[in-house]
Amino acid sequence: MIIDSHAHYAHFRYDTEVPYLGMEEGALTVRRGDREALLADLRASGIVAAIEPSIGFEALEKQRERVTESEGFLWEAIGVHPTRCIHTPWKARRTVSAYAESGHPIAIGETGLDYHHPRRLQHRLRQKLWFIYQIKLADRLGLPLILHIREGDRDALRILKRYKDRLHGGVVHCFGGDHRLAQEYIALGFAIGVGGKLLCENEEGRALGDTVKNVKLRHLLVETDAPYVLPEEGLPDCSGNQRKKLCNSSLILPAVISRIARIRGEEAAFVEEQIYQNTVALFHLNIGEEPSEKRSTDCP
């Protein structure tokens, strides 16, 4: 059984029929379908759940609708992505908090720091304010964090260490560093999210492979960030325009798990089971059941 620890199946791209990545006999293929067809495809392929983190403040209501419609397949995390928070009014944190207090979110996120834009467009102070607010919100709810850190590890680690007594674990989504950086996050209670980048034979793929080899298996999760972060290698032949329309999917995760197993010299079935258990434990999931306990808080 496999859980995708980070996917965006509430994304509007899945509202209509789209091409999405699949796997056949160990090779990437292209399938077509809308959200309903895709989720049915995932279930039939041994994907038992996916965690659905928020991206934009404006999409929170639509995300919750999609999670409810999935009948226990999608598990909701609430937050504001660092590149979206720079355009989100500070007063909107009250609404974010209200969403987190209602329903049954299993994490806060995705949140963090993203410095890949030019410096003048990063709005670092606003990102840090939102990051700290969401750390505090997660603490008050007793929830783990889903971190999005891109070229901002130094500042992110400084903030996380400052609030280390208020952390309840979590995952560094779409990790791309080496094992030394990974160990800094692990020391703070975070797991490492491994996705399709591991399938690539470039510098980033090799660095991620170094992490997979050198950290303990209990610290690893698998993810796709669907519809984003397509593997850069092994894609079916298609034009540039076709590739722009192609969506990632959790169907690639058996290949990611097989690569993890090969790098570590372990059986794929063993790796799959351990990563499944890691994900269930970190997010306190009851697969096949709806969460029954409503959380409440008084977050400033």
Answer whether 224's CB lies under 8 Å from 6's CB.
yes
Predicted local confidence at residue 283, as pLDDT: 97
Query: Which residues of the chain are modeled with pLDDT < 70?
Result: 238-240, 288-300
**CA contacts within 13 A on the Cβ side of 259:** 24
**Domain at 2-283, CATH from 3.90.550.10, 3.20.20.140, 3.20.20.150, 3.30.750.24:** 3.20.20.140
pLDDT tens per residue, range 132-155: 999 999 999 999 999 999 999 999
Burial-class residue 11 by CB neighbours within 10 Å (0-12, 13-18, 19+).
Answer: buried
Question: 192 φ, ψ to 5°?
Answer: -115, 120
Predicted local confidence at residue 258, as pLDDT: 95
Predicted local confidence at residue 235, as pLDDT: 77
pLDDT tens per residue, range 162-218: 999 999 999 999 998 899 999 999 999 999 999 999 998 888 888 999 999 999 999
Tokens matching residue 67: 């999670």
Predicted local confidence at residue 181, as pLDDT: 95
| DSSP, res 164 | G
> Residue 155 is inside which H or E element, if any?
helix 153-162
Q: How big is the chain, counted in residues? A: 300
Tokens matching residue 239: 């034009």
> What pTM was estimated for this model as a whole?
0.92
Map tokens 């351990």 to a residue. 274
Strand 74-78 with 190-194, pairing: unpaired
Predicted local confidence at residue 298, as pLDDT: 39
Cis link prior to 52 (omega < 30° from 0)? Answer: no
Rg of the chain over all Cα atoms, to the nearest angstrom: 18
> Residue 47 is inside which H or E element, if any?
strand 47-53
